Amino acid sequence: MPSWNDKETSSEEECEVVSMDMGLMEEPDTTVEPLFCGQLELAHPKCILHQLRPIKRVAFEGPVTGRRFYGCPVQENGVNCGVVEWVDGPWPTVLQRCLCKLWEMFHEQNFGRVQDKEKFEQELARLKSEHERELAKLRTENDKLCIEYTKLVDDVSKMFAWQDGRMDKKQVEEEELEKKKKELEEKAMLEVQMEKLKLAKEQRCILQSQADIIKNTRKAMKDVEVDRDVLKKEKAKLELVVAELLNEGYGSKEKLEQIKAILES
C-alpha cells in the first residue's frame, strides 16, 4: 500500500478529492492512520443524512484497502450514511486483484482455525461425557454395596437377638460374626479401592487424551503462524514491486510479470 508520508499526498491542502464512487456508498471497515484522522475542518462536503462534517478514514476491506475517504461521523445509535467522498481514486486492477487474494487467504486461514477449535471443543465435550458416565456407574455400584452391607448388619443384629440368653454360645457367635463383619468390611473396602483405582486409570487416560489434543492443536497453530510469516514476507515483496511499478507509471511489463509470479506462487 502507498505511504501517507509521500510529499504529494501528506498535506490536506494538496490532497486531490476524487469524485464519489456510487457503487461504494456503504462505509467499509477502517484502520487507524495517525497522519489521516480527525474531523474534516472544511464546511463542505457534508454527509447526506445528517449534514455534518465528515471524519477522515482509511479503508481496510477488500480491493479498497488503503484508500482514504471522508465518512459519516455517526457511528453508534444512529443511521450511518456511508462514504461522503473518496480522497484516493480506485487502485489499479492488478493491485485490486492482489488485495482480494490476500484477504481471501486471510479468511481461509481464520476459518481453518475456527474449525480446529470447534473440533477440539467437541472432542473435549465427548471425553467429559464419558467420564461423567463412568462416575455415575461407580456411584451406582457403591450404593449397591452399601445396601448389601446394611442388610448384612441387620441380619447379624437379628442373630444376636435370637441367641439372647445363651451367653457362652452367643459370645462365640459374636466373635465369629465380628470376624465375618471385618471380612465383609475388608472385602467392601478392597472393592471400593479397586473401583477407585479403575476410575483413576480412566481419568489418567482422559487427561492424556486431552493433553494429546492440546499438543496437536498447538502444533497446528504453530504451523499456521509459520504460514502467516511466509505470507507476510510475500506481501512485503508484493508491496515493493507495486511501489516500483507506481514510480515507473505502470509502463514496465517485467514488473507486471513479477506481480503475477508472486500471486501464482
Dihedral sign, Cα of residue 44, residue 49, residue 55, residue 56 = negative
> Could you read off the pLDDT of 47-79 as tens digits, one per residue?
878 788 888 888 888 898 889 888 888 876 767
Q: How far apart are the C-alpha atoms of 156 and 165, rounded to whole Å?
A: 16
Mean pLDDT of 208-224: 85
Share of the chain above pLDDT 90, in %: 2
pLDDT value of position 10: 37
pLDDT value of position 265: 63
pLDDT at 37 over 80: no
pLDDT value of position 14: 38
Contacts of 21 (CB under 8 A, 6+ apart): 83, 86, 90
Instruction: Tell me how far CA of residue 147 lies from CA of 143, 154, 174, 208, in angstroms.
Output: 6, 11, 22, 35
pLDDT at 254 over 80: no
Contact 25, 83 (CB under 8 A): yes
pLDDT at 110 over 50: yes
Could you state, in order of their start, the residue ranges of all structural domains in the chain? 30-91
pLDDT at 23 over 80: no
Copy the grid coordinates of residue 230. Answer: 511466509
> Could you read off the pLDDT of 171-190 as tens digits, one per residue?
777 888 888 888 888 888 88
Contacts of 131 (CB under 8 A, 6+ apart): 202, 203, 206
Copy the grid coordinates of residue 62. Answer: 477488500
Instruction: Tell me how far CA of residue 204 lies from CA of 72, 88, 126, 211, in angstroms.
Output: 59, 61, 16, 10
Q: How far apart are the C-alpha atoms of 224 and 113, rounded to whole Å?
A: 8
pLDDT value of position 150: 84
pLDDT value of position 244: 72
Element of type H or E holding 116: helix 93-162
DSSP state, 72?
Answer: -
pLDDT value of position 154: 81
For the entire predicted model, the pTM comes to: 0.35
Of 41, 24, 5, 66, nearest to 235 (Cα)?
A: 66
pLDDT band for 92, please (50, 70, 90 cuts). Answer: very high
pLDDT at 2 over 50: no
Q: How far apart are the C-alpha atoms of 257 and 29, rounded to whole Å?
A: 31
Instruction: Tell me how far CA of residue 56 lies from CA of 9, 21, 26, 39, 124, in angstroms.
Output: 14, 16, 15, 6, 47
- Count of residues making up the chain: 265
